[in-house]
Amino acid sequence: MIFAAILAGGIGNRLDLGIPKQFYEINNKPLLIYCVEQFLKVDGLDKIIVSSPVDYLDKTRSLIEEYFGDNDKLVVIGGGEERKDTILNSIDYAMLNGADDESIMVTHDGARIFVSPELIKNSIKHAKKYGASSPVIPATDVIFQCDEEHSLTNIPERKYLVHAQTPQSFNIFKYMDIYNDLTSDEISLLDEAMMLFHLRKESIFLFDGDSLNFKITKPLDLEIAKAIINEKDL
C-alpha cells in the first residue's frame, strides 16, 4: 500500500497570521486545500493522511469535507508536538490500516502547495527501489559554515550542496526498524524523515526537485504564492 502524509500539524508562527498558515486563504481557498488537491491527482495512493494541530482538528475535518465531500481516501489525524511525532502518528495510522513490509509512506510539507503529481510519483518510485528518497535542488549561493559565535569555520564546495525538499518517501517498516534502534539523543535529531536513514548510513536516493515546490514560511513567500496562483488561475 502507498500512504501519503501531508504534514500540517504546525502553527506557522513566523508568518504571524493569527491562525495556522494552512488555513490562510488565497483567492478564497486555504493553502492546505491547494496541497491536498495535488495529491488527489496521483493515482495509486491508498490513503492521504492530513495532520492537523490538535486544537484545529474539527476545523481541518470541516474543510476537507467542504472541498472534497465524503472521500474515503482522505483522513485527518492529530499532529504531534514536533515533526518527527507527526510522522510517527501518520505511520501508526498506516500500520493500523493495512500497511505491510512493502508499504511506502510519502511525507510532504503542507506548506509546499505547488508540489506536482510528477514529483510525488517520482518520490514513490525511487523509495520502492532504494528504500528512501528525497527531491533536492542545487544550492545557488555560496554556503558559509559557522560556529556558535557566528565566526566562519568552513566554506563547503557548492557543487556538493543541495537544498532538500519534500515529498520524501520511505519504506514504512524499514523506518520503524531503524527508529526502534535509535538512542534518545539520535531521536532528538530527527527534524525530518531522511535524517533517520542518514544516521544509520542507509541508502537515500536524491532526485531532481522543482524550484516551484518552495515552502511558504515568510511573508514574501505568501506574496509569491499569490502571484503564482493568480497567474496560473488555480
In a domain, 50, yes or no: yes
CATH of the domain at 131: 3.90.550.10
Q: Residue 140 corresponds to which cell in the numbers above?
A: 545557488
Average pLDDT of the segment spanning 220-225:
96
Whether residue 199 lies inside any domain: the answer is yes
Residue 33 lies inside a defined structural domain of this protein: yes
Q: What's the domain range around 66?
A: 2-135+163-232
Q: Is residue 143 part of a domain?
A: no
| Count: domains in the chain | 1
The DSSP result for 188-205, as a single string, is TT-SSHHHHHHHTT---E
Mean pLDDT of the chain: 95
Burial 137-147 (b: 16+ CB within 10 A, else e): eeeeeeeeeee
In a domain, 84, yes or no: yes
* Per-residue pLDDT reduced to its tens digit, 35-68: 999 999 999 999 999 999 999 999 999 999 999 9
Q: Note whether residue 146 is domain-resident.
A: no
The full DSSP string for 20-63 is: -GGG-EETTEEHHHHHHHHHHTSTT-SEEEEEE-GGGHHHHHHH
| Residue matched to cell numbers 517498516 | 173
Average pLDDT over residues 100-129: 97
Contact (Cβ atoms closer than 8 angstroms) between residue 45 and residue 4: yes
30 beta partners: 25
pLDDT digits (tens, 9 = 90+) for 139-164: 999 999 999 999 999 999 999 999 99
pTM here is: 0.94
Q: How confident is the model at residue 11 (pLDDT cuts 50, 70, 90)?
A: low
In a domain, 30, yes or no: yes
Spatial contact of 50 and 74, defined as CB atoms under 8 Å apart: yes
Where residue 12 falls among pLDDT bands split at 50, 70, 90?
low
Q: Cα separation of 97 and 147, whole Å?
A: 45
Domain assignment present for residue 109? The answer is yes
